Amino acid sequence: MSILKKALIITSIASPNEVLKAHAQGAKANNIDFIVIGDTKSPATFELDGCRFLSIEDQEALEFRLAKILPKKHYARKNLGYLLAKNHDVIIETDDDNFPYETFWNERKRIQNADVFNNSGWVNVYSFFSKENIWPRGFPLHHLPNKNEPKSIIQNVSCPIQQGLADENPDVDAVYRMTLKLPIKFDQHNSLALGKNAWSPFNSQNTTWFREAFPLLYLPSYCSFRMTDIWRSFIAQRIAWTCDWPVLYHNSTVWQERNDHSLIKDFEDEIPGYLNNETICKKLEDLDLASGERNILANLIRCYEMMTENNYIGKEEMKLVEAFCEDIR
């Protein structure tokens, strides 16, 4: 069996910290290309064995169309890392405050054994990995009382998008952080695969993408920082349905020692999600999208047209999406 060519992508303004060092060491040991995308506040010098660091100047020198127009001081600079890795078989992404477990370096497999959900509406995936009252950031709060059971027996499914959980300080919203307990270590559970008409947000904190799904990596810039990866996940799920791809959620392979955040600022930045996430997904469901992998880029543009037409995302986004689509081909 051939070994997949993999890249690990992080965007960071930090100097090489213990997390980045751990990822550089693991990537080097496992023959993974490690790319760190900097921003305007990144250190003037960044030296880390096993890592390719790109400053703003390095990024602007890239031949990608997106590199010339992508806003600075934004998490979506990560898009340039995806483009640099577009000829790999697998892209793995995480953040500079997530330490890898040894299992993080396991070989990625597209075919997974999972509990499959179809036509299940909103599924709180965290509830299967913990007995605590916990939910992922981006999950509509009024659906929390709902309980979902696997629709079918365990099956082998092909999942080119795979979300891993994070222990200790998992990806939860500001409402959770201000009212409930942390840290949390998730229980071990069989993976979940969400197919057509089953929704759950996923993030950019511990996510694996196989090549056919690379166009769905695109992170929007003209929206709240706390919604950029969440709204990406909803668009990715909707387009995945057109390809008969379920999205996989699996046991934790990282733990987070979270960077400093203002919880009130996080709450403010999450308000567009609290108010609109369910409506956004309903509008995505209602779109008439073409089936098959050959239509992914056209479907991506159509989804962002819907997002900008309804003012969830600024209209300036469209030139970025179009540039990304041109660059990722």
The verdict on residue 165 lying in a domain is: yes
Please give the single-letter amino acid code of residue 158.
S
The verdict on residue 289 lying in a domain is: yes
Q: What is the mean pLDDT of residues 261-265?
A: 92
Between the CA of residue 298 and those of 67, 135, 223, 302, 312, what are the distances in Å? 21, 32, 21, 6, 20
The verdict on residue 133 lying in a domain is: yes
The verdict on residue 103 lying in a domain is: yes
Between the CA of residue 163 and those of 25, 181, 244, 283, what are the distances in Å? 22, 23, 17, 24
The reported pLDDT for the residue numbered 258 is 87
- Cα 102 from Cα 219, distance rounded (Å): 28
The verdict on residue 1 lying in a domain is: no
The verdict on residue 219 lying in a domain is: yes
Q: What single string gives the DSSP state of each residue in 192-250?
A: EEE-TTEE----SSEEEEEGGGGGGGPPPSSS-TTTHHHHHHHHHHHHHHHTT-PEEEE
* CATH code, domain carrying 111: 3.90.550
What percent of the chain clears pLDDT 70, i.e. is strictly above it? 97
The answer to whether 29 and 100 have CB atoms below 8 angstroms apart is: no
- Cα 253 from Cα 92, distance rounded (Å): 12
Domain range enclosing 46: 6-328
- Cα 208 from Cα 226, distance rounded (Å): 20
Angle among Cα 139, 142, 143 to the nearest 5 degrees reads 60
Tell me the pLDDT tens digit for each residue of 94-144. Answer: 999 999 999 999 999 999 999 999 998 999 999 999 999 999 999 999 999
Total domains in the chain come to: 1
pTM over 0.85: yes
- Cα 235 from Cα 299, distance rounded (Å): 9
The reported pLDDT for the residue numbered 260 is 79
The reported pLDDT for the residue numbered 145 is 83
The reported pLDDT for the residue numbered 126 is 96
Name residues whose C-beta falls within 8 Å of residue 108's C-beta, 6 or more positions apart in sequence: 4, 6, 90, 92, 162, 208, 210
The reported pLDDT for the residue numbered 149 is 64
